[in-house]
Chain A
Amino acid sequence: MSEPTKSDDLVVPAAEPAGPVSLPGQAVGEPSAAAGQEPGEAPAATLTKAPAEAPAQAPAEAPAETTGKPGKPGKADTERVASLWTDAWYDLRRNPLFLIGALLVAFMVALAIAPQLFTGKDPQSAGFCQLADSLKRPSADHWFGFDVQGCDVYTRTVWGARNSIVVGMLTTTLVVLVGGALGLLAGWVGGFWDSLLSRVTEIFFAIPLLLGGMLIMANFQKGNAFTVSMVMAVLGWPQIYRLMRSAVLSNKHNDYVVAAKALGAGTSRILGRHILPNAVAPVIVVSTINLGVYIGAEAALSYLGIGIQSPAISWGLMISDAQARFLSAPHVLLFPAVVLSITVLAFIMLGDAVRDALDPKLR
């Protein structure tokens, strides 16, 4: 998987500013930012490797690309080999799976940031739930019907997005930071720390996520999005740790690292410039897929009654409340369940698409 980046590293040292570090950052930022972009619309990344497929685009894009790089005018389009990231971005823009996933994720994030845009009502306001409406079926005015307390299911589902998205993002961020840092430490320093941390991860791997989550969450009287994220991060970091550690170990003794060391590069420079870029790809793929998995796990914990607690709104909690009357009023359970599934699906699709794009073996 690391081949293209490796060759990139070997080419680049002559021209400092175009180092591989800037590339991953750039490419990673783009997919989400340009979620709604048409496949034909040219983004900033150049695609010098595929001139046959995009002959008209390449010249038009090249100037835009080179202006971003001081000290290398005009040389870029002849000298630069398409990196793993530009290649991956080229693939992604043409992958319907990615486009659908990205659109759905963008929509869910919009729901989480500004639920007011999608519904005029506030589920926490007084008089929102009218018992007279209890279990009413979906109608033109109330698309998802009413739950047993007479609350509008549509409004609650819209407002419930926030907790799910926050838990997913926060858990993933924590897991990547903690697992990534420890993996880097274990792989680079090795010796005692490596053995210790690896034994600790074995212990964590032996405890299933749901069981461990149940045990820890039972300690919190009032679970909320923050506590749930913390607990899942505590249980989830070993996965990223292993990825990061193996990426460091497999690159540590490569020629370009030895060369960088011989040239007098410091630890932080070697890690940042030569080791991390090679570890970023698998971490992004696994994290994206896991984001969906964490959202599902939050729903499972809330469903068990030990995750997010009422009056906060969580899809898992809504499903749990609706299960007793599933036979007579299935809509109360099914609408939040469908939205939850679509959210998880969106992240998994996104992760799948990114993996296909980043894995040169599948091309």
Chain B
Amino acid sequence: MGRYVVRRIIQAIPVILGATFLIYALVFLLPGDPITALAGEKRADPTVVAVLQERYHLNDPFFVQYWYYLSHLFTGDFGEDYRGNAVVDVMSAAFPYTINLALTALGIEMAVGVTAGVAAALKRGRFIDNVVMISTLMVISIPVFVIGFVLQLVLGVKLKTDYGFDFFPVSFNEEAGFRSYLMPAYVLASTSLAYVARLTRASLIEVMRADYVRTAVAKGLSPFRVVVRHGLRNALIPIVTFLGMDLGGLMGGAVITEGIFNIPGVGHQLFQSVYLRERTIVVGIVSALVLVYLFANLVVDLLYAVLDPRIRYE
């Protein structure tokens, strides 16, 4: 187990290096000069520009700049942006929001998606199954931002003005705490939620045909125990795989959701940084997201062994 984890971490190194290189190259290619972007509408003082260019190695070739970045990265230093703020500070200010949002979304996905999938699988071909299948198909097809606007209008505005029920803040509000995350998280989770429901349904239908489920029923276990312990547990592997892959997508997909609900998280920060040509912030955030993705995949692989004792890692 320990050796397996170490091996996986070593395998992840080229992926991390490759991804940061790719991102760095893309950001480096961005047209426009970051120092000019810093000065805004005003014309920057040439001496200041020269000093800043020297300080951030902007006159060096691409590979030299990348090397500077990488060598700092190995000492845990993400560098600083063109305003002199440490990238670590910028990221640690933004990440908590996105982590809260993504974890809430993941929770909603698991709770609602798996429940809907189980209900559909157990009543296959009946009314509830059709409702789940059709509604998930619709949710998958509607763009996230449209779901966001409509929910914002219905839950955030209409519910308050028409029914006097003030529960969901229209826009992110730090003081409202967890309540503030519910609607954005639901919007963020919507597409994946639909996939989770469909995946759970398909997986559970398959598992419920297995011999061990028939045995469990035959020996008189309660239906709940049959479904949850013998059915769902074995059906979970594809679902857990999907959820693990999805966590990275959720954090990346937060660009749109955070924009709609004004959440000052990573997506918001990233979107601004792309425009301000803040290379170090963009590379830092995307690299961190890649790390999250790889870590989530590792956790998923380790969870396989928990879900299915036949799987062992050497």
Contacts and interface: CB of A to CB of B under 8 A. Distances in A.
Given A206-B294, A333-B149, A348-B137, A211 B289 contact: yes
Contact of B255 (A207, A210, A326): A210
B286 interface: yes
A203 B282 CA distance: 17
Given A333-B146, A341-B138, A341-B143, A202 B15 contact: yes
A66 to B, nearest CB: 39
Nearest to A336: B146
Contacts of A327: 153, 157
A296 B259 CA distance: 18
Interface in A178-208: 199-200, 202-203, 206-208
Contacts of B23: 207, 215
Given A199-B14, A203-B22, A342-B141, A219 B30 contact: yes
Given A206-B19, A206-B290, A215 B140 contact: no
A210 B256 contact: yes
B52 interface: no
Across the A-B interface, give the 6 residue pairs with the lowest CB-CB distance, nearest first.
A208-B252, A345-B141, A203-B18, A344-B141, A337-B146, A211-B252
Contacts of B22: 203, 207
A314 B297 CA distance: 36
B95 to A, nearest CB: 15
B289 to A, nearest CB: 7
B274 A214 contact: yes
A349 interface: yes
B97 interface: no
Interface in A220-269: 221
Nearest to A207: B19
Nearest to A345: B141
16 contacts: A199-B14, A199-B18, A214-B271, A219-B30, A219-B31, A221-B31, A296-B141, A300-B144, A304-B255, A319-B146, A323-B149, A330-B153, A333-B149, A340-B143, A341-B138, A345-B138
Nearest to B148: A323
Nearest to B144: A300
A303 interface: yes
Nearest to B256: A300
A345 B191 CA distance: 13
A281 B27 CA distance: 38
A42 interface: no
A345 B146 CA distance: 15
Given A199-B18, A296-B143, A300-B145, A219 B255 contact: no
Contacts of A341: 138, 141-143, 146
Contact of A208 (B144, B248, B271): B248
Q: How large is the interface on B (under 10, 10 to 19, 20 to 34, 35 or more residues)?
A: 35 or more
A348 B140 contact: yes
B293 interface: yes
Contacts of B141: 292, 296, 341-342, 344-345, 348
A299 interface: yes
Contacts, number: 109
A10 interface: no
Contacts of A215: 23, 26-27, 30, 274, 282, 286
Q: Among the interface residues B30, B251, B286, B294, which one has the most CB atoms of the partner chain A within 10 A?
A: B286
B290 A349 contact: no
A337 B143 contact: yes
Contacts of A114: none
B67 interface: no
B114 to A, nearest CB: 21
B249 interface: yes
Contacts of A344: 140-143
Interface in A293-317: 296, 299-300, 303-304, 316
A300 B253 CA distance: 10
A208 B270 CA distance: 13
Contacts of B255: 210-211, 214, 304
A319 B142 CA distance: 12
B29 interface: yes
B165 interface: no
Interface string B7-47: 00000001100110011001101110000000000000000
